[in-house]
Amino acid sequence: MTKIGVFSSVHGGQIMEACRWDDQKAIAAFDRFRPDVVCGEVRPEDWEGGEKRYPSEYDRYIFDYCKSRGVPFVPCDYWTEEDYQRTLKESDILEAKLPDGSEEAQRWDAIMDQFMQAGLESAIPFNSTAFNDIARRKHEMQGSLSPETHQSTWAERNRRIVENIRRVIAENPGKRILVIFGAEHSYWFADEFAEDKTIQLVFPL
């Protein structure tokens, strides 16, 4: 049976400082899983073309991890330039639909507080079913406020990423495949792979 490990990566900055997380702890989690293949948040075209349009942790330690362990890295991300521009606009759309003091704004603030609390309280920060539950609710609210933008920048992207990962699974039956993406993608992957009886899901690592 193919084993899929899902790791929610924190892209750096103040959140990493707040959760007292560092790259060596991530490496230790990877080594516990012992991946045969790593799928990551890099688009194939950027991997082949050398453009660094991916999170900083790949250059910081993930590529070196794969090289030092002799583990193949497969780029599995998906987005278009149009998607990227829509993502930039989504925050403006949400702000416009969440006027100060409104019931929607209060609900949003409550979800964001729970989002951060669940992430920081996870044994591996932002890697827990409790955090995934909050991330799912956050995305449901984003989708209700900005359905077209959310569909293209999150739902369609996640579907395409899963297609890419499933190709890696088909090419590596019975192997241990580590999937590393930003924390807000993980609930989608966990939901997808938990239902597949040919896969043993490992989350958190």
Mean pLDDT by 10 residues, the chain (205 residues): 95 72 92 98 93 92 98 96 78 73 88 94 94 96 87 92 98 98 96 94 97
Contact 16, 10 (CB under 8 A): yes
| Extended strands (E) in 64-175 | 73-75
Give the pLDDT confidence score for residue 11 in this predicted structure: 81
Give the pLDDT confidence score for residue 68 in this predicted structure: 98
SS3 198: coil
Give the pLDDT confidence score for residue 72 in this predicted structure: 98
Give the pLDDT confidence score for residue 20 in this predicted structure: 74
* H or E element that contains 43: none
Where b means 16+ CB within 10 Å and e means fewer, 147-185 reads eebbebbbeebbebbbebbeebbeebeeebbbbbbebbb
Which residue, 33, 3, 14, is CA-closest to 193? 3
The residue ranges of every structural domain in the chain are: 2-202
Cα gap 142→147, rounded to integer Å: 7
